[in-house]
Chains A and B, each alone.
Chain A
Amino acid sequence: MKSIVKYLAVIMMTIFLLAGCGKQPTEEINAAKASVDAVMAEGAQKFAAEDAKKLNDSLQAAQDELKVQEGKTFKDFAKAKELLAKAKADADVLKTALPAKKEEAKKNALAALEAAQAAATEAKALLAKAPKGKGSRADIEALKGDLEGMDDALAEAKKASDAEDYSGAIERSNTVKDKASAVADQLKKALAKVGKK
């Protein structure tokens, strides 16, 4: 009888030990959520959209595993902890990399703006020297209007850049640069005809 009780006790202890894997990893859950939220707040969805999507999916997978274990009698959160740790680690890595990505995007936007501004400035300078002879004054007026429109577009590009819409700023700047360069080329040809430099 004594040995039956002894063996029963061993078995019950074993069972309770195994069932003891069943504490919800609250700390790990909060840490993973905090890390993912932090990186989203830094603009991950804007500057690293696919990485952000995969991160959300990882966190969801971890939460799904938590739900699976919650539904069990004998819970084992080891896998859930592993998934949460990975989600947190990935979020932290992305958070570290994000400022560099943003900075790179910002740098590219500013470079595009500068290039467009330079093209517009060159076109205006050439326009000022344009031959004001027969038949050209109306063309000069028209080109002035074009360059004013480009200035407005550049102002919008700058606004976009300030609002961290760097791809929008680059897109607008590049089209202005192309148009301004085309105007400059037109004027250079006209000046070359009359022998001015």
Chain B
Amino acid sequence: MQSIIIRTLILSLLIWLSGCTVPPLPPEVKLSEEQELNLWRSGAAVYAAEGYDRYRLSFRQAKEDLIKEQSRWVWFQDYRVVQSEFRAVLKSGVALQEQVAQQKQIIKERIFPQLSSLKSRIATLKGITAAANEGRLARKDLIRAELLLSEAADRFAGGDYRAAEAKFKDLSGYLKAAEDALLPVLDRFADSSRIKKWRQMADRTIAESKDRGIKAIIVNKSEHLLVLYNNGAPLKTYNVGLGRNGYFDKLHAGDNSTPEGRYQIIKKIPQSRYHKALLINYPNDEDRRNYLRAKRKGLIPAGTGIGGLIEIHGGGKDSMTYGCVGMDNESIDDLFSLVSVGTPVTIVGAVDDNNSLSTAIKGL
């Protein structure tokens, strides 16, 4: 009896010890762990955040169920349910990988044309700054936009599409700032009623040249052209520059704008600091009315006069004068010899609805 009890106890102990051999885990567990790491590497958290969160929850749940199963007595361990859980995790992981790949492709296809259109928009605006001579206002913003575009293009090339797209927000901000600086200048040249008024001024000058058999000058700011008429027909054409703010109508002293309106030559200056100069009678009556109106509205800085000494002069056709119309010395030499005191000078913004600046705006 004693030996039976002893043998039973030893046998029980041996059985119990042998039961400590742990059965192997389902291979799906390791595969899921590798899959989770690969999904992390692929940027699932960025490209399919919600799906990735759900995947991680189900992965974690499967792990918790595995822990519970592993905690049981070895004879009661059954990994079949846990194995099917991990198979479901793997299946959802595969779907998630596809979703990540699809999302990357969608973003890539969305970004690619934007890169081109932004590049084109920046180039158009840079061209406009060159035409409008508003480099001071818009170039800083444009170069910032250009730098961000380079960064976005590099990220795109490296497959980091979200990061590339993230650059567009700031980039658009800089572009808008550049456009906001340029559009007030350019909108004037897309305003049909304003262009009509300018065209009428030019037509009256040409008519006067014809009727009186005299020479007359018309300056077209949008095209940077000075046309000398004789008897109502174009005689000569010259390229000219304007003031630093030349595309605006002059309002007061120091605004660097080139005035618009009907004037005449009041003095010929053969030896000017700008080679030769033709002084015109700015301000005229309309200029004075505009100045007073603006002053009443508080638009003129305190102590600022209406300005004067607006000339057509030599020294170059860079648009960097204080408001005068600038020409090359050869051009002013020629013009100087053809005109006289009293020659009408009409300065307009544009005569054509489709002028250089209005067409540039359309490109934006």
CB of B130 within 8 Å of the partner chain: yes
CB of A111 within 8 Å of the partner chain: no
Whether the pair B2, A4 counts as a contact (CB closer than 8 A) is yes
Whether the pair A134, B318 counts as a contact (CB closer than 8 A) is yes
Q: Which of B65-73, B105-113, B256-264 contacts A (4 or more CB under 8 A)?
A: B65-73
CB of A124 within 8 Å of the partner chain: no
Shortest distance between the CB of B356 and any CB in chain A (Å): 15
A175–B319 Cα gap in the complex (Å)? 31
Number of A positions contacting B (CB below 8 A): 43
A64–B9 Cα gap in the complex (Å)? 34
Instruction: Chain B residues near A26: list those with CB within 8 A.
Output: none
Whether the pair A8, B70 counts as a contact (CB closer than 8 A) is no
Instruction: Chain B residues near A163: list those with CB within 8 A.
Output: none
Known: A148-B140, A149-B143, A152-B140. A137 touches B318 (CB 8 A): yes
Majority SS at the chain B contact face: helix
CB of A150 within 8 Å of the partner chain: yes
CB of B349 within 8 Å of the partner chain: no
Picked from B41, B68, B133, B147, the residue with its CB within 8 Å of the CB of A138 is B133
Whether the pair B9, A134 counts as a contact (CB closer than 8 A) is no
Whether the pair A172, B147 counts as a contact (CB closer than 8 A) is yes
Shortest distance between the CB of A102 and any CB in chain B (Å): 21
Whether the pair B6, A4 counts as a contact (CB closer than 8 A) is yes
A-B contact count (CB 8 A): 109
Whether the pair B318, A138 counts as a contact (CB closer than 8 A) is yes
Residues of A bordering B, CB below 8 Å: 1, 3-4, 7-8, 11, 14-15, 50, 53-54, 57, 64, 67-73, 133-139, 141-142, 144-146, 148-150, 152-153, 171-172, 175-176, 178-179
Interface residues of B in 292-331 (CB under 8 A from A): 316-320, 328
Number of B positions contacting A (CB below 8 A): 41
Interface residues of B in 66-84 (CB under 8 A from A): 67-68, 70-73
Whether the pair A141, B9 counts as a contact (CB closer than 8 A) is no
A sample of 13 inter-chain contacts (CB < 8 A) reads: A4-B2, A69-B71, A71-B70, A72-B71, A135-B317, A136-B318, A141-B133, A141-B135, A142-B129, A144-B135, A145-B138, A149-B141, A150-B143
Whether the pair A64, B63 counts as a contact (CB closer than 8 A) is yes
Q: Which residue of A lies closest to B126 (CB)?
A: A142
A50–B37 Cα gap in the complex (Å)? 9
